[in-house]
Structure 1
Protein backbone atom coordinates (compact mmCIF):
# COMPACT_ATOMS: atom_id res chain seq x y z
CA UNK A 1 0.00 0.00 0.00
CA UNK A 2 2.68 2.48 0.83
CA UNK A 3 5.65 3.30 2.99
CA UNK A 4 3.52 3.71 6.11
CA UNK A 5 2.01 0.24 5.76
CA UNK A 6 5.44 -1.28 5.06
CA UNK A 7 6.86 0.37 8.19
CA UNK A 8 4.00 -0.91 10.33
CA UNK A 9 4.61 -4.46 9.07
CA UNK A 10 8.36 -4.18 9.69
CA UNK A 11 7.70 -3.36 13.36
CA UNK A 12 5.84 -6.67 13.72
CA UNK A 13 8.67 -8.86 12.43
CA UNK A 14 9.50 -11.60 14.90
CA UNK A 15 5.88 -12.09 15.95
CA UNK A 16 5.07 -14.61 13.22
CA UNK A 17 5.26 -17.44 15.77
CA UNK A 18 3.35 -15.58 18.47
CA UNK A 19 0.77 -17.85 20.07
CA UNK A 20 -2.62 -16.22 20.52
CA UNK A 21 -5.57 -17.62 22.45
CA UNK A 22 -9.07 -16.46 23.34
CA UNK A 23 -11.17 -17.66 26.28
CA UNK A 24 -14.56 -16.71 27.72
CA UNK A 25 -14.48 -16.58 31.53
CA UNK A 26 -16.59 -15.62 34.51
CA UNK A 27 -14.94 -12.56 36.08
CA UNK A 28 -13.77 -12.74 39.67
CA UNK A 29 -12.15 -10.29 42.02
CA UNK A 30 -9.25 -12.76 42.25
CA UNK A 31 -7.87 -13.55 38.78
CA UNK A 32 -6.86 -17.15 39.46
CA UNK A 33 -10.24 -18.09 40.93
CA UNK A 34 -11.35 -18.48 37.31
CA UNK A 35 -10.71 -22.15 36.47
CA UNK A 36 -9.79 -21.33 32.85
CA UNK A 37 -7.30 -18.64 33.83
CA UNK A 38 -5.77 -20.74 36.62
CA UNK A 39 -5.33 -23.77 34.30
CA UNK A 40 -3.88 -21.54 31.55
CA UNK A 41 -1.21 -20.11 33.85
CA UNK A 42 -0.44 -23.43 35.58
CA UNK A 43 0.25 -25.05 32.18
CA UNK A 44 2.95 -22.42 31.58
CA UNK A 45 4.85 -22.74 34.86
CA UNK A 46 8.32 -24.23 34.75
CA UNK A 47 11.02 -24.76 37.35
CA UNK A 48 11.08 -22.55 40.42
CA UNK A 49 8.21 -20.04 40.34
CA UNK A 50 7.70 -16.64 41.95
CA UNK A 51 4.04 -15.67 42.25
CA UNK A 52 4.78 -12.01 42.91
CA UNK A 53 1.24 -10.81 43.76
CA UNK A 54 -0.20 -14.11 44.96
CA UNK A 55 -3.57 -13.04 46.34
CA UNK A 56 -5.78 -15.75 47.79
CA UNK A 57 -5.59 -18.52 45.20
CA UNK A 58 -2.71 -21.00 45.30
CA UNK A 59 -1.39 -22.14 41.95
CA UNK A 60 -0.52 -25.83 41.53
CA UNK A 61 2.85 -26.84 40.09
CA UNK A 62 5.19 -29.80 40.48
CA UNK A 63 8.04 -27.47 41.47
CA UNK A 64 8.50 -24.88 44.18
CA UNK A 65 6.25 -21.80 44.15
CA UNK A 66 7.31 -18.84 46.27
CA UNK A 67 4.24 -16.76 47.11
CA UNK A 68 4.47 -13.03 47.81
CA UNK A 69 1.61 -10.76 48.80
CA UNK A 70 1.96 -7.31 50.29
CA UNK A 71 -1.01 -8.02 52.60
CA UNK A 72 0.41 -9.61 55.75
CA UNK A 73 -2.93 -11.32 56.46
CA UNK A 74 -2.61 -13.43 53.29
CA UNK A 75 -1.02 -16.88 53.26
CA UNK A 76 2.31 -16.14 51.57
CA UNK A 77 6.03 -16.82 52.00
CA UNK A 78 6.88 -13.11 51.73
CA UNK A 79 4.98 -9.89 52.39
CA UNK A 80 7.00 -7.27 50.54
CA UNK A 81 6.30 -4.64 47.91
CA UNK A 82 7.28 -6.02 44.49
CA UNK A 83 9.51 -2.96 44.04
CA UNK A 84 11.70 -4.29 46.87
CA UNK A 85 11.39 -8.04 46.30
CA UNK A 86 14.88 -8.31 44.82
CA UNK A 87 16.29 -7.45 48.25
CA UNK A 88 14.68 -10.61 49.67
CA UNK A 89 15.50 -13.20 47.00
CA UNK A 90 18.57 -14.43 45.12
CA UNK A 91 19.20 -13.02 41.65
CA UNK A 92 18.64 -15.45 38.78
CA UNK A 93 16.94 -17.98 41.07
CA UNK A 94 13.54 -18.23 39.31
CA UNK A 95 12.53 -19.92 36.07
CA UNK A 96 9.07 -18.32 36.01
CA UNK A 97 7.68 -15.10 37.44
CA UNK A 98 3.90 -14.65 37.57
CA UNK A 99 2.86 -11.00 37.91
CA UNK A 100 -0.83 -10.29 38.51
CA UNK A 101 -0.85 -6.84 40.12
CA UNK A 102 -3.95 -4.76 40.81
CA UNK A 103 -4.88 -3.55 37.32
CA UNK A 104 -6.16 -0.16 38.46
CA UNK A 105 -6.45 2.10 41.49
CA UNK A 106 -10.03 0.84 41.87
CA UNK A 107 -8.83 -2.77 42.07
CA UNK A 108 -6.07 -1.76 44.46
CA UNK A 109 -8.66 -0.14 46.70
CA UNK A 110 -10.81 -3.30 46.64
CA UNK A 111 -7.97 -5.79 47.08
CA UNK A 112 -5.65 -3.86 49.37
CA UNK A 113 -8.04 -1.55 51.22
CA UNK A 114 -6.68 1.56 49.50
CA UNK A 115 -3.02 0.72 50.13
CA UNK A 116 -0.79 2.15 47.42
CA UNK A 117 1.08 -0.43 45.40
CA UNK A 118 4.51 0.03 43.86
CA UNK A 119 5.81 1.30 40.54
CA UNK A 120 5.37 -1.17 37.65
CA UNK A 121 8.66 -0.28 35.89
CA UNK A 122 10.66 -0.69 39.10
CA UNK A 123 8.95 -4.03 39.81
CA UNK A 124 9.86 -5.30 36.34
CA UNK A 125 13.53 -4.41 36.90
CA UNK A 126 13.35 -6.53 40.08
CA UNK A 127 11.80 -9.43 38.14
CA UNK A 128 14.45 -9.18 35.41
CA UNK A 129 17.14 -9.61 38.08
CA UNK A 130 15.31 -12.55 39.68
CA UNK A 131 14.65 -14.46 36.42
CA UNK A 132 17.25 -16.95 35.21
CA UNK A 133 18.31 -16.82 31.55
CA UNK A 134 15.62 -18.39 29.38
CA UNK A 135 13.05 -17.82 32.13
CA UNK A 136 9.51 -16.76 31.42
CA UNK A 137 7.55 -13.80 32.68
CA UNK A 138 3.75 -14.15 32.77
CA UNK A 139 1.76 -10.96 33.34
CA UNK A 140 -1.96 -10.30 33.65
CA UNK A 141 -3.58 -6.90 33.20
CA UNK A 142 -5.72 -4.68 30.99
CA UNK A 143 -2.90 -4.30 28.41
CA UNK A 144 -0.41 -6.59 26.75
CA UNK A 145 2.52 -4.65 28.15
CA UNK A 146 4.96 -7.14 29.60
CA UNK A 147 8.70 -6.95 30.11
CA UNK A 148 10.45 -4.10 28.32
CA UNK A 149 11.63 -5.29 24.92
CA UNK A 150 14.73 -3.11 25.44
CA UNK A 151 15.87 -5.85 27.86
CA UNK A 152 15.81 -8.35 25.00
CA UNK A 153 12.72 -10.28 26.07
CA UNK A 154 10.78 -12.07 23.35
CA UNK A 155 7.00 -12.06 23.33
CA UNK A 156 5.87 -15.68 23.06
CA UNK A 157 2.17 -15.64 23.79
CA UNK A 158 -0.84 -13.37 24.27
CA UNK A 159 -4.14 -14.53 25.72
CA UNK A 160 -7.47 -12.72 25.93
CA UNK A 161 -9.88 -13.72 28.70
CA UNK A 162 -13.22 -12.22 27.70
CA UNK A 163 -15.57 -11.57 30.62
CA UNK A 164 -18.51 -11.30 28.20
CA UNK A 165 -19.13 -7.65 29.04
CA UNK A 166 -19.34 -8.10 32.82
CA UNK A 167 -16.12 -6.12 33.32
CA UNK A 168 -12.90 -5.38 31.42
CA UNK A 169 -11.31 -8.38 29.72
CA UNK A 170 -8.17 -9.84 31.28
CA UNK A 171 -5.11 -9.90 29.04
CA UNK A 172 -2.06 -12.06 29.63
CA UNK A 173 1.38 -12.17 28.06
CA UNK A 174 4.26 -14.60 28.24
CA UNK A 175 7.67 -13.09 27.63
CA UNK A 176 10.93 -15.05 27.56
CA UNK A 177 14.20 -13.72 28.94
CA UNK A 178 17.20 -14.00 26.61
CA UNK A 179 19.61 -16.88 27.20
CA UNK A 180 19.40 -20.62 27.59
CA UNK A 181 17.45 -22.07 30.47
CA UNK A 182 19.12 -24.62 32.71
CA UNK A 183 15.66 -25.95 33.62
CA UNK A 184 13.78 -28.10 31.12
CA UNK A 185 13.67 -27.92 27.32
CA UNK A 186 12.00 -24.90 25.73
CA UNK A 187 8.22 -25.21 25.82
CA UNK A 188 7.70 -23.24 22.62
CA UNK A 189 8.08 -25.47 19.62
Structure 2
Protein backbone atom coordinates (compact mmCIF):
# COMPACT_ATOMS: atom_id res chain seq x y z
CA UNK A 1 0.00 0.00 0.00
CA UNK A 2 2.43 2.76 1.12
CA UNK A 3 2.78 5.16 -1.82
CA UNK A 4 -0.17 7.22 -2.98
CA UNK A 5 1.31 8.11 -6.34
CA UNK A 6 3.65 10.73 -7.69
CA UNK A 7 2.99 14.36 -6.91
CA UNK A 8 2.20 16.50 -9.94
CA UNK A 9 1.73 20.21 -10.50
CA UNK A 10 -1.95 20.95 -10.93
CA UNK A 11 -4.25 23.79 -11.81
CA UNK A 12 -7.47 23.11 -9.97
CA UNK A 13 -10.44 25.19 -11.09
CA UNK A 14 -12.27 24.16 -7.92
CA UNK A 15 -9.62 25.95 -5.86
CA UNK A 16 -10.93 29.32 -7.05
CA UNK A 17 -13.50 29.18 -4.24
CA UNK A 18 -11.10 27.72 -1.69
CA UNK A 19 -11.72 29.18 1.76
CA UNK A 20 -8.57 30.56 3.38
CA UNK A 21 -8.26 31.53 7.05
CA UNK A 22 -5.44 33.22 8.94
CA UNK A 23 -5.04 33.43 12.72
CA UNK A 24 -2.32 34.26 15.21
CA UNK A 25 -1.86 31.81 18.09
CA UNK A 26 0.48 31.06 20.95
CA UNK A 27 2.27 27.79 20.25
CA UNK A 28 1.53 24.86 22.49
CA UNK A 29 2.77 21.31 22.74
CA UNK A 30 -0.82 20.12 22.16
CA UNK A 31 -2.46 21.56 19.04
CA UNK A 32 -5.98 21.93 20.42
CA UNK A 33 -4.93 23.70 23.63
CA UNK A 34 -5.03 26.87 21.52
CA UNK A 35 -8.56 28.27 21.84
CA UNK A 36 -8.52 29.57 18.25
CA UNK A 37 -7.43 26.22 16.80
CA UNK A 38 -9.84 24.29 18.98
CA UNK A 39 -12.79 26.51 17.99
CA UNK A 40 -11.80 26.32 14.32
CA UNK A 41 -11.77 22.51 14.29
CA UNK A 42 -14.90 22.07 16.44
CA UNK A 43 -16.88 24.32 14.05
CA UNK A 44 -16.00 21.90 11.23
CA UNK A 45 -16.95 18.62 12.90
CA UNK A 46 -19.99 16.88 11.45
CA UNK A 47 -21.65 13.56 12.30
CA UNK A 48 -19.59 10.75 13.78
CA UNK A 49 -16.00 11.83 14.34
CA UNK A 50 -12.74 9.91 14.61
CA UNK A 51 -9.92 11.84 16.27
CA UNK A 52 -7.22 9.54 14.88
CA UNK A 53 -4.27 10.95 16.88
CA UNK A 54 -6.13 12.45 19.84
CA UNK A 55 -3.38 13.37 22.28
CA UNK A 56 -4.57 14.89 25.56
CA UNK A 57 -7.22 17.33 24.42
CA UNK A 58 -10.85 16.28 24.09
CA UNK A 59 -12.80 18.03 21.36
CA UNK A 60 -16.46 18.97 21.94
CA UNK A 61 -19.14 17.98 19.44
CA UNK A 62 -22.87 17.17 19.47
CA UNK A 63 -22.31 13.63 18.15
CA UNK A 64 -19.93 10.87 19.15
CA UNK A 65 -16.18 11.43 18.95
CA UNK A 66 -14.05 8.29 18.99
CA UNK A 67 -10.58 9.05 20.33
CA UNK A 68 -7.52 7.04 19.29
CA UNK A 69 -4.04 7.56 20.67
CA UNK A 70 -1.09 5.19 20.35
CA UNK A 71 -0.04 6.02 23.92
CA UNK A 72 -1.85 3.58 26.25
CA UNK A 73 -1.54 6.09 29.10
CA UNK A 74 -3.77 8.59 27.29
CA UNK A 75 -7.50 8.70 27.93
CA UNK A 76 -8.76 7.32 24.61
CA UNK A 77 -11.29 4.81 23.30
CA UNK A 78 -8.64 2.99 21.30
CA UNK A 79 -4.83 2.70 21.44
CA UNK A 80 -3.67 1.57 18.00
CA UNK A 81 -1.21 2.74 15.39
CA UNK A 82 -3.14 4.92 12.94
CA UNK A 83 -1.57 2.82 10.16
CA UNK A 84 -3.72 -0.10 11.39
CA UNK A 85 -6.84 1.76 12.54
CA UNK A 86 -9.16 0.50 9.76
CA UNK A 87 -8.86 -2.99 11.25
CA UNK A 88 -10.94 -1.82 14.23
CA UNK A 89 -14.01 -0.33 12.54
CA UNK A 90 -16.46 -1.07 9.77
CA UNK A 91 -15.68 0.77 6.50
CA UNK A 92 -17.24 4.22 6.05
CA UNK A 93 -18.01 4.51 9.76
CA UNK A 94 -17.09 8.19 10.23
CA UNK A 95 -18.37 11.47 8.77
CA UNK A 96 -15.32 13.44 9.93
CA UNK A 97 -11.76 12.33 10.64
CA UNK A 98 -9.34 14.63 12.47
CA UNK A 99 -5.73 13.75 11.72
CA UNK A 100 -3.22 15.53 13.95
CA UNK A 101 -0.11 13.32 14.11
CA UNK A 102 3.19 14.58 15.53
CA UNK A 103 4.30 17.21 12.99
CA UNK A 104 8.02 16.49 13.30
CA UNK A 105 10.54 14.15 14.89
CA UNK A 106 11.09 16.80 17.61
CA UNK A 107 7.38 16.81 18.45
CA UNK A 108 7.30 13.03 18.32
CA UNK A 109 10.21 12.81 20.76
CA UNK A 110 8.73 15.45 23.07
CA UNK A 111 5.15 14.17 23.21
CA UNK A 112 5.30 10.50 22.24
CA UNK A 113 8.69 9.18 23.35
CA UNK A 114 9.81 9.07 19.70
CA UNK A 115 6.75 7.21 18.35
CA UNK A 116 5.58 8.71 15.09
CA UNK A 117 3.24 7.89 12.23
CA UNK A 118 5.51 5.51 10.38
CA UNK A 119 3.93 5.75 6.95
CA UNK A 120 1.73 8.76 6.35
CA UNK A 121 0.50 7.36 3.03
CA UNK A 122 -0.62 4.12 4.70
CA UNK A 123 -2.32 6.07 7.51
CA UNK A 124 -4.25 8.11 4.93
CA UNK A 125 -5.35 4.94 3.09
CA UNK A 126 -6.68 3.63 6.42
CA UNK A 127 -8.51 6.91 7.02
CA UNK A 128 -9.94 6.88 3.50
CA UNK A 129 -11.38 3.42 4.18
CA UNK A 130 -13.09 4.68 7.36
CA UNK A 131 -14.42 7.98 6.03
CA UNK A 132 -17.95 8.02 4.58
CA UNK A 133 -18.52 9.39 1.06
CA UNK A 134 -18.99 13.15 1.39
CA UNK A 135 -17.13 13.08 4.71
CA UNK A 136 -14.52 15.56 5.90
CA UNK A 137 -10.84 14.95 6.47
CA UNK A 138 -9.25 17.61 8.70
CA UNK A 139 -5.46 17.52 8.93
CA UNK A 140 -3.03 19.59 11.00
CA UNK A 141 0.70 19.81 10.42
CA UNK A 142 3.50 21.78 8.80
CA UNK A 143 2.16 21.11 5.30
CA UNK A 144 -1.14 21.50 3.44
CA UNK A 145 -0.77 18.23 1.56
CA UNK A 146 -3.92 16.62 3.00
CA UNK A 147 -5.49 13.70 1.17
CA UNK A 148 -3.96 12.87 -2.19
CA UNK A 149 -5.81 13.96 -5.31
CA UNK A 150 -5.43 10.41 -6.64
CA UNK A 151 -8.19 9.44 -4.17
CA UNK A 152 -10.51 12.11 -5.59
CA UNK A 153 -10.76 14.36 -2.52
CA UNK A 154 -11.67 18.01 -3.02
CA UNK A 155 -9.90 20.70 -1.00
CA UNK A 156 -12.46 22.83 0.83
CA UNK A 157 -10.37 24.97 3.13
CA UNK A 158 -6.86 25.90 4.26
CA UNK A 159 -6.07 27.63 7.55
CA UNK A 160 -2.81 29.14 8.75
CA UNK A 161 -2.19 29.51 12.47
CA UNK A 162 0.77 31.89 12.74
CA UNK A 163 2.81 31.42 15.93
CA UNK A 164 4.44 34.85 15.41
CA UNK A 165 7.90 33.40 14.92
CA UNK A 166 7.97 31.37 18.14
CA UNK A 167 7.99 28.13 16.14
CA UNK A 168 6.69 26.83 12.81
CA UNK A 169 3.18 27.89 11.91
CA UNK A 170 0.42 25.28 12.19
CA UNK A 171 -1.35 24.54 8.92
CA UNK A 172 -4.73 22.87 8.55
CA UNK A 173 -6.72 21.58 5.61
CA UNK A 174 -10.25 20.35 5.15
CA UNK A 175 -10.68 17.87 2.30
CA UNK A 176 -13.99 16.28 1.28
CA UNK A 177 -14.27 12.67 0.14
CA UNK A 178 -16.15 12.16 -3.14
CA UNK A 179 -19.80 11.16 -2.80
CA UNK A 180 -22.59 12.11 -0.43
CA UNK A 181 -23.02 11.38 3.26
CA UNK A 182 -25.62 8.73 3.94
CA UNK A 183 -27.81 8.62 7.02
CA UNK A 184 -28.01 5.49 9.11
CA UNK A 185 -26.20 3.61 11.86
CA UNK A 186 -22.56 2.66 11.57
CA UNK A 187 -20.91 0.60 14.26
CA UNK A 188 -17.58 -0.52 15.65
CA UNK A 189 -16.33 -3.96 14.64
Same fold (TM over 0.5): yes
Larger-Rg structure = 1
Equivalent pair of 1:142/1:168 in contact (CA under 8 Å): yes
Counterpart in 2 of 1:178?
178
Counterpart in 2 of 1:153?
153
Counterpart in 2 of 1:60?
60
Equivalent pair of 2:101/2:116 in contact (CA under 8 Å): no
> 1:162–1:111: structure 2 CA closer, same or farther, 3 Å change rule?
same
Quote the Cα distance in structure 2 between the aligned partners of 1:74 and 1:130: 22
Runs of 4+ in 1 over 4 A off after TM superposition: none
Residue by residue, what CA displacement relative to the aligned partner does 1:161-181 show, whole Å, maximum 9, x if unpaired?
Answer: 000000000000000000011
**Length-normalised TM-score, structure 1:** 0.90
Quote the Cα distance in structure 1 between the aligned partners of 2:12 and 2:81: 34
Counterpart in 2 of 1:86?
86
Equivalent pair of 1:134/1:178 in contact (CA under 8 Å): yes
Unaligned runs of 5+ in 1: 1-7, 184-189
C-alpha displacement of 1:14: 1.4
Unaligned runs of 5+ in 2: 1-8, 184-189
C-alpha displacement of 1:116: 4.1
> 1:140–1:116: structure 2 CA closer, same or farther, 3 Å change rule?
closer
**Length-normalised TM-score, structure 2:** 0.90
Quote the Cα distance in structure 2 between the aligned partners of 1:75 and 1:82: 16
Q: How does 1:2-151 map to 2 (within 5 A)?
A: 11-151=11-151
User: Number of residues paired by the alignment?
Assistant: 175
Equivalent pair of 1:82/1:118 in contact (CA under 8 Å): no
RMSD: 1.1
